[in-house]
Structure 1
Amino acid sequence: MESAEIARRFLRFFEERGHEVVPSASLIAEDPTLLLVNAGMVPFKPYFLGQRKPPYQRATSVQKCIRTPDIDEVGKTTRHATFFQMLGNFSFGDYFKELAIPYAWELLTSSEADGGFGFPEDRLWATVYQDDDEAFSIWRDKVGLPEERIQRRGLADNYWNMGVPGPGGPCSEIYYDRGPEYGKEGGPVADEDRYLEVWNLVFMQYQLSTVRSKVDFDVQGPLPAKNIDTGMGLERMAAILQGVDNIYEVDTMWRILDLAADLTKTKYGRDTRNDVSLRVVADHMRSGTMMVGDGVVPSNEGRGYVLRRILRRSIRHLRLLGAGDERYLHELTDAAIEGMGETFPSLRADAAHIHTVIDAEEQSFLATLRTGTAIFDASVEETKRRKDTVVSGAQAFTLHDTYGFPIDLTLEMAAEQGLSVDETEFRRLMDEQRQRAKADAAAKKTGNLDVSVLGEMLERAGTVTFTGYDAVEAEARVVGLLVGGANVPSAGEGTEVEVVLDRTPFYAEGGGQLADQGTIKLSSGAEIEVLDVQTPLTGLVVHRGRVRRGEAQAGDTAFAQIDVERRRAISRSHTATHMVHRGFRNALGESAAQAGSENAPGRFRFDFTAAGAVPPSVLRDVEAEVNATLIDDLGVHASVHPIDEARKMGALALFGEKYGSEVRVVEIGDYSRELCGGTHVARSGQLGLIKVLGEQSIGAGVRRVEALVGIDAFKFLARENVLVAQLAEQLKTPREDLPERVSGLVTRLREAEKELERIRSRQVLEIAGELAGGAQDVGGVAFVSHRAPGGVGADDLRRLAVDVRGRLTGRPSVVIVAGVPKDRPVVVVAVSDEGRARGLRAGALVGVAAKALGGGGGGKDDLAQGGGANPEAIGEALAAVRRAVGSQ
């Protein structure tokens, strides 16, 4: 049975039993304590915590999940994976154990012809929490499972909590006996390789007040409404129903693994090391594809770092399989899209965007590998120079943390050089980094209390009505006031406050559009200046600002009014973003998908996916096309449609954005059509003018364009016009000839600078003979010190030091030359072969000089360079080196 069919049967079974089929949420978690959705219940967490009222009592879903804590174990075993799909059915205060257990049994044991999974009843086992007699009785008396196949287990195995105060309770797990060839008899408590867990039924029936660990918590009392949360791993279920040994051999994963083996000319199942690499590639390519499809782009922080690490581990393991510098991620991404595309059709629709991001990251990392290899080679040289055999853990950590160089690659390359790596130090530094990350995560969890307060407010107020599409002011009621995250009855003058109204014209920041600003005047005479507006929970709009005068009271009648000119300027920018998006798609193809934006008054930035830099000619063409469209003065219309209908209309959906079943479509004539909740102008002509300032890279496969709109664009061009006029006047050149004239001047200037450099170098080197002739004897060493005049560059100082050293042949010599090329002192030390034989080292001597200058330096034994911050100390630096030579 294919994975897609397993998902269909699961959803259909529970839909027939009154469950709302809920589409998978994005992998980008709404929960601020999570980078990525890591469990099937995460999208429903606010309902379980009582922060929001569920819109249905029963639900079922196939949820995309990513877990990365055990990423280093992926591939080493056949059980670990980063991406998985969790099938789940949920009850919010509706049914409980009496239905959850029979539902699971019926679906598992019903024949395939009847829509079930056809499991033989005699091969299923169940576990229950040790004190859960109720679940035990249901299994034995209602389901009819023999008592000897129901096992009781403790807190570690059969009790569930969220890790924070909230609902928790016992659980019952269902296991499938794979047979004696997989292990010993005795049920799940004896062998969980033979007895494979297929479904976990969680019974949330208690309120936990303090949670110290999975097995250490305080129970406050029973929940007023009991809830059901179940989870069945689709990949594990597929392994059983497809008759394969593990999740890497199921249809969606095998497609990628088999292609990776074919591309690298290896065979799965013949070599343990190759098998590990093939499993890593299969898992990580599927995970990376799903993450990019949900709007994640590679970066050095947060979820972007998770994606980057996953893709780079894939490339690393392809190299281990013999790929070298060949680029295979494009084909492997295709395999992942085809494998998952039936369950998640958006992957196929967004394939061009996904390829652009992943291809660019592959190209970037292959360059990083070359850079990292050069840095590693330098570390090896330094290690061997010290006559050591161990590369320091700090160097390995820097390669890993700064350059993205995998530790296993460092270990392998070190072994090839006959060296080892101080793994203990490396692991210590990695652990310190993880502890910092955990501390940050723990700090974020304290935000749960604030979310709970906001949840209560949302429950009390209901969904806040946004009136800002049609009005810039509105009468409303103050539903609640928050000061410092706490609900308060009033807030006095000067207090920073968060205000919740039952209706508002203020647009909350979202979709790239900055929030409105303005004022809220209350019936009590108080006035609140609104500086920011956010939606911390869906349906809840929070106005952040300061009480300008009077005392704000919860329950007051309010008159909310936005800054109209700011709104108009932002709306122009937002409409311009849509048009520029369409322009780049027309110029570069549909793979130029929006990857972020910011719409501010008079200006905007637009991020989009592209394989490389956009040529200036394309920027000009896009700008010209968009401005020509402005002249047509197209009407801008917004309408609400079911999301499937909107997609059929050709409306673009933006990556990383979450959409409900009903969506708002914004159309600019026939030129642009996008899903968007932002505010816009009435006609394109109101934008006046768009001026693209330029573009740049902000990450692998992502470019950023910045532009001005309306009067800001006009002011910019006016300033440019004045500057061009001034240049034309000063150079006595017609405007149209300015580029050629300026280019000629720059060329002549550079040639003049080069000639000056040559003259200065000759002048510097002319004194080399004089300096060598004036060498002093310091403890049997020919010692030369010289302070060069201002303006002599570091390169000239090095040439001079080497030239003087070359004239002091046949005897130990040390030459130190110093200068101040750019307001900061530079010092160069050169030591002859005979000097090095006496133990003199240029690197050590330059360190002495640099210390006196208040800086640092280094280099090789024969030539080294340093610097500092105190030019007045050059004399002392030269004297300090002389003393150091004399003391040898």
Structure 2
Amino acid sequence: MQTADIRGRWLDFFADRGHTVVPSASLVSDDPTLLFTVAGMVPFVPYLTGLVPAPYPRATSVQKCIRTNDIEEVGKTPRHGTFFQMNGNFSFGDYFKEQAIGYAWELLTTPESGGGYGFAEKDLWVTVYQDDDEAIRYWRALGLPEERIQRLGMDTNYWSTGQPGPAGPCSEIFFDRGPAYGVDGGPATDDDRYVEIWNLVFMQYLRGEGTSKHDFKILGDLPKKNIDTGMGLERVAFLKQGVENMYEIDQVRPVLDLAAGLSGRGYGADHEDDVRMRIVADHVRSSLMLMSDGVMPSNEGRGYILRRLLRRSVRAMRLLGVDDATFPVLFPASRDAMSPAYPDVATEFDRISQAAYAEEETFLRTLASGSTVLDLAVAKTRSEKKAELPGDTAFLLHDTYGFPIEITLEMAEEAGLSVNREAFDALMAKQRAMAKADAKAKKTHLADLSVYSAFRAAGETVFTGYDELQTESSILGLIVDGESVASAVAGQVAEVILAETALYAESGGQEADAGLIVGPGYELDVLDVQKPVKGLISHKVTVRTGEVGVGDPATSIVDADWRRGARQAHSGTHILHAALRQVLGPNAHQSGSYNKAGFFRLDFSWNQGLSQATRSEIEEISNNAIRDNLEVVTRELPLAEAKALGAMALFGEKYGERVRVVDIGGPWSRELCAGTHVSTSAEIGMVNLVSESSVGSANRRVEALVGLDAFNDLAAERAIVSQITANLKTPREQLPERINDLVQSLKAAEKKIAAFEARALGDRVPSLVASAERIGDVRVVTANLGTVNSADDVRALVTQTRERLGSDAAVVALAGVAGDKPVVVVATNPAAREYGVRAGVLAKAMAGVLGGGGGGKDDLAQGGGTDVAAIDAALQTVRTAAQR
């Protein structure tokens, strides 16, 4: 039974039983505490917990999921995969335990000819929570023998969020693969013989505070009991297809076979090779699915996880003996296997493959350079008879060469070494702390989501800001320090929930509106506007004057200048995106954006920098569209109809069944967007493209100003040009040539000065040679040169002096001050080295006296420090060493 058939039977079965079929949500989770959708129930959590009223009484889905917490187990067990699909059926206060158990048993045991999965009843076991006699009664009623029902404890058969809220027992269904796969005894043996294929969660209790997963009080029954069940699609697929594990099913096996073919190693011949092939098959599929949902490789967050998956794939292929790029072969195979279930994988493959191939090429170069560094570090560690690589080496590989720490750990383990993870983590923490200190702090901090449930239950917040800048409403709720309160007074910071608001909440890349909320006897400055839960808008405010209370009349007032600038910026983003695609082609797809009053940035998929001519062309097309005063039309349509019209969606954004379509010039620019926009393109004023840069191996970023901000920037440039023309007494059109002439003249002058300084340095050589003193069997030259241009000057003088000292054992150590910092250079000749004098050792010792570090080769070495006053003492260390 093919995976697509298993999926289709699931949806048909539950649709026939009154369940609303809900399409898979994105792998990028709405939950701010999660990077990814990690379980089939995640998109339904607001409904299951009662935070948001459920739009249907029962639902079913096949949800895409990503989990990487068990990434080290991928390929080693039959069932661990980073990407998987969870078939789920859900009830929100509708049916409960008996019906859920009945549905599961019916679908599993109905013959394939009758639309079921055709599992033999004798091969199925169930586990229940130890005290759930009710569930056991229902299982017995279906004819399941007592000996195949096992009671287990909270560790495995009880569910809660880990916080006060819904909780309840679970019942899991297992398939017995037979004695060839392990010992007898049922799922309680925790053996690979028994594969869990279905989990039924019965949310029936309200739990209180607790100290652990097992230690909490049950406060009573939930007012509405919910059902959350999940069946692992890949697990059922490998059982129904008669293969050994999930890596061999029809959606994954094609990539595994190609990995085997490219490596020339047969699958099944060697355990370690098999694991590597499974890693490649799993990670390529996971990466493909993540990228289809808009995730791009980067060094943080979701992008870092994706980059790790891609790089682990490359690394596994190298361990299989393949050093060349393989993604151009592997990714199309995964696309062909997954696109029947997820058509976006095929339609977006040009964008996906461009980014994936670029990432592989980059990492292959990284591996070549970083592996050399790691090999040297391994050799040094072994020569020192140590078993642990230093943490600073791991950090260097991460920070300079882009090695994820996990890959360094793997490569070190292959060499029989561990890594000083504590030191590495300390360096990473220091780097993050510095980054946070430099970065602008996030301006919003919302309360714990549970506080919003009562407000959301009253209905959705109505946003009126598309049509008006001022809306009369009332205060539905106030939150201070995470707690719902009755009032707030002057000086307090609070969150305000209104029934209606004209203030735009940050979303779709657009910053929140600036403005006020006013009412009888109070005035509130709006600091931020957010959507903490779907359908609810929260305003973070400072109470400027008076006292505000729940139930008070309230008028939201948008700062008109701010909104005008924000509308110009957001519409400007759409204009520039259309211009980019007109010049570069459809593969230049927007991958992210940010806009605020007067400014926007746009990230797009592209793997090379834009020439100045290309930038100018894009800017010209954008401003021609503004000049043509194109009409901007917004309308609400069903999602399918909007996509059929060619409306572009921003990857990573979430869209409901009805969407807002923004047309600029009809189909010239047609995108799904909930932001605020101008009425005609001329209102944007102008677009001034101020920068273009890289934000990843296959992503570029453009930044632009619009409206008055764009004009002011150009006016500032004009003032600078006017000042330069006046100073150089040169017409504007001749400035490039005039400046080039000045630059060439400056370079020629600098060359002459350098030659003069070199001669001046050379003039000092005779006196330095004459100053040589014999200490034991070695001639020693030491001198403090005072202020020098650079360490290169000191190095040149040291080597020239050494050459003039003849064949007798000689060492030259000179010091100077470059840029307020002391620098030392030491040189030795062959005879001195035979005598045991080493330049690297001396430079390191001198630098230590100066409060710094140094070293180098035996014949020439350099060091530096911070203590200029210690130069003479540092030079004395050379004379002392020569005496020995």
TM over 0.5: yes
Tell me the equivalent position of 1:580: 576
- The separation in 2 between residues aligned to 1:595 and 1:234, in whole angstroms, is 30
1:422 to 417, 431, 440: 417
1:637 to 615, 633, 639: 633
- The separation in 1 between residues aligned to 2:267 and 2:792, in whole angstroms, is 56
Query: Over residues 124-173 of structure 1, what are the superposed CA-to-partner deviations in whole Å (9 max), with x where a residue is unaligned?
Result: 222222221111111112x1212222222222232223233322222111
Tell me whether 1:13 sits opposite 2:19 in the alignment.
Answer: no
Amino acid in the other structure paired with 1:521: V
Over 3 Å counting, the alpha-carbon distance change for 1:493 and 1:114 in structure 2 is same
Over 3 Å counting, the alpha-carbon distance change for 1:853 and 1:347 in structure 2 is same
- The separation in 1 between residues aligned to 2:166 and 2:681, in whole angstroms, is 52
Over 3 Å counting, the alpha-carbon distance change for 1:373 and 1:757 in structure 2 is farther
Amino acid in the other structure paired with 2:328: H
Tell me the equivalent position of 2:657: 661
1:603 to 599, 603, 612: 599
Secondary structure in structure 1 of the residue aligned to 2:654: coil
Cα pair 1:792 1:819 within 8 Å, conserved: no
Equivalent pairs counted in the alignment come to 871
- The separation in 1 between residues aligned to 2:254 and 2:427, in whole angstroms, is 36
- The separation in 1 between residues aligned to 2:393 and 2:241, in whole angstroms, is 43
- The separation in 2 between residues aligned to 1:9 and 1:765, in whole angstroms, is 88
Amino acid in the other structure paired with 1:822: G
Cα pair 1:805 1:815 within 8 Å, conserved: yes
- The separation in 2 between residues aligned to 1:412 and 1:184, in whole angstroms, is 32
Tell me the equivalent position of 2:618: 622
Tell me the equivalent position of 1:375: 373
- The separation in 2 between residues aligned to 1:590 and 1:639, in whole angstroms, is 24
Tell me the equivalent position of 1:348: 346
Over 3 Å counting, the alpha-carbon distance change for 1:862 and 1:165 in structure 2 is farther
Tell me whether 1:456 sits opposite 2:454 in the alignment.
Answer: yes
- The separation in 2 between residues aligned to 1:514 and 1:588, in whole angstroms, is 28
Cα pair 1:93 1:227 within 8 Å, conserved: yes
Amino acid in the other structure paired with 1:651: A
Cα pair 1:778 1:882 within 8 Å, conserved: no
Query: Over residues 548-577 of structure 1, what are the superposed CA-to-partner deviations in whole Å (9 max), with x where a residue is unaligned?
Result: 111122221011111001100111010010
Percentage identity across paired residues of the two chains: 50
Amino acid in the other structure paired with 2:332: D
- The separation in 1 between residues aligned to 2:795 and 2:94, in whole angstroms, is 81
Structure 1 unmatched runs, 5+ = none
Amino acid in the other structure paired with 1:251: D
Over 3 Å counting, the alpha-carbon distance change for 1:493 and 1:840 in structure 2 is farther
RMSD of the alignment, in Å? 2.7
Tell me whether 1:495 sits opposite 2:483 in the alignment.
Answer: no
1:584 offset after TM fit, Å?
A: 0.9
1:703 offset after TM fit, Å?
A: 0.7
Secondary structure in structure 1 of the residue aligned to 2:478: strand
Amino acid in the other structure paired with 2:145: P
Amino acid in the other structure paired with 1:352: D
Amino acid in the other structure paired with 2:574: H
- The separation in 2 between residues aligned to 1:412 and 1:764, in whole angstroms, is 52
1:818 to 810, 815, 818: 815
1:707 offset after TM fit, Å?
A: 0.9
Tell me the equivalent position of 2:562: 566
Query: Over residues 821-876 of structure 1, what are the superposed CA-to-partner deviations in whole Å (9 max), with x where a residue is unaligned?
Result: 33333222234445445554434433443344443333334333222344455445
Task: Map residues 61-460 of structure 1 onto 2, 5 A cutoff.
Answer: 61-141=61-141, 143-190=142-189, 192-324=191-323, 326-379=324-377, 382-383=380-381, 388=385, 392-394=389-391, 397-398=394-395, 401-402=398-399, 403-405=401-403, 420=415, 422-423=417-418, 425-426=419-420, 450-459=448-457
1:25 offset after TM fit, Å?
A: 1.5
Amino acid in the other structure paired with 1:541: I
Tell me the equivalent position of 2:503: 506
Over 3 Å counting, the alpha-carbon distance change for 1:532 and 1:731 in structure 2 is same
Query: Over residues 31-55 of structure 1, what are the superposed CA-to-partner deviations in whole Å (9 max), with x where a residue is unaligned?
Result: 2222211111111222233322222
1:678 offset after TM fit, Å?
A: 0.2
Cα pair 1:391 1:421 within 8 Å, conserved: no
Secondary structure in structure 2 of the residue aligned to 1:251: coil
Secondary structure in structure 2 of the residue aligned to 1:209: strand
Tell me whether 1:48 sits opposite 2:48 in the alignment.
Answer: yes
Over 3 Å counting, the alpha-carbon distance change for 1:689 and 1:409 in structure 2 is closer
Over 3 Å counting, the alpha-carbon distance change for 1:207 and 1:448 in structure 2 is farther
Task: Map residues 459-474 of structure 1 onto 2, 5 A cutoff.
Answer: 459=457, 461-474=458-471
Secondary structure in structure 2 of the residue aligned to 1:376: helix
Secondary structure in structure 2 of the residue aligned to 1:758: helix
1:421 offset after TM fit, Å?
A: 5.0
Secondary structure in structure 2 of the residue aligned to 1:528: strand
Cα pair 1:478 1:558 within 8 Å, conserved: yes
Over 3 Å counting, the alpha-carbon distance change for 1:855 and 1:339 in structure 2 is same
Tell me the equivalent position of 1:750: 747
- The separation in 1 between residues aligned to 2:870 and 2:95, in whole angstroms, is 82
1:882 offset after TM fit, Å?
A: 4.6
Amino acid in the other structure paired with 1:28: V
Over 3 Å counting, the alpha-carbon distance change for 1:414 and 1:603 in structure 2 is closer
Cα pair 1:379 1:391 within 8 Å, conserved: no
Tell me the equivalent position of 1:766: 763
Amino acid in the other structure paired with 2:37: V
Cα pair 2:130 2:152 within 8 Å, conserved: yes
Tell me the equivalent position of 2:784: 787
- Give the TM-score of the pair, scaled to structure 1: 0.93
Secondary structure in structure 2 of the residue aligned to 1:252: coil
- The separation in 2 between residues aligned to 1:618 and 1:178, in whole angstroms, is 61
Over 3 Å counting, the alpha-carbon distance change for 1:370 and 1:344 in structure 2 is same
Cα pair 2:370 2:397 within 8 Å, conserved: no
1:811 offset after TM fit, Å?
A: 4.5
1:690 to 681, 687, 692: 687
1:435 offset after TM fit, Å?
A: 11
Tell me the equivalent position of 2:22: 22
1:429 offset after TM fit, Å?
A: 5.3
Secondary structure in structure 2 of the residue aligned to 1:560: strand
- The separation in 2 between residues aligned to 1:477 and 1:887, in whole angstroms, is 90
Over 3 Å counting, the alpha-carbon distance change for 1:159 and 1:346 in structure 2 is same
Cα pair 1:493 1:547 within 8 Å, conserved: yes
Over 3 Å counting, the alpha-carbon distance change for 1:448 and 1:38 in structure 2 is farther
Tell me whether 1:515 sits opposite 2:525 in the alignment.
Answer: no
- The separation in 1 between residues aligned to 2:116 and 2:873, in whole angstroms, is 88
Over 3 Å counting, the alpha-carbon distance change for 1:215 and 1:806 in structure 2 is farther
Cα pair 1:293 1:347 within 8 Å, conserved: yes
- Give the TM-score of the pair, scaled to structure 2: 0.93
Cα pair 1:393 1:422 within 8 Å, conserved: no
Over 3 Å counting, the alpha-carbon distance change for 1:377 and 1:178 in structure 2 is closer
Secondary structure in structure 2 of the residue aligned to 1:510: coil
Over 3 Å counting, the alpha-carbon distance change for 1:742 and 1:538 in structure 2 is same
Cα pair 2:366 2:402 within 8 Å, conserved: yes
2:773 to 771, 776, 779: 776
Amino acid in the other structure paired with 1:8: G
Moved more, 202-211 or 231-240: 202-211
- The separation in 2 between residues aligned to 1:296 and 1:714, in whole angstroms, is 35
Cα pair 2:837 2:882 within 8 Å, conserved: no
Amino acid in the other structure paired with 1:573: A
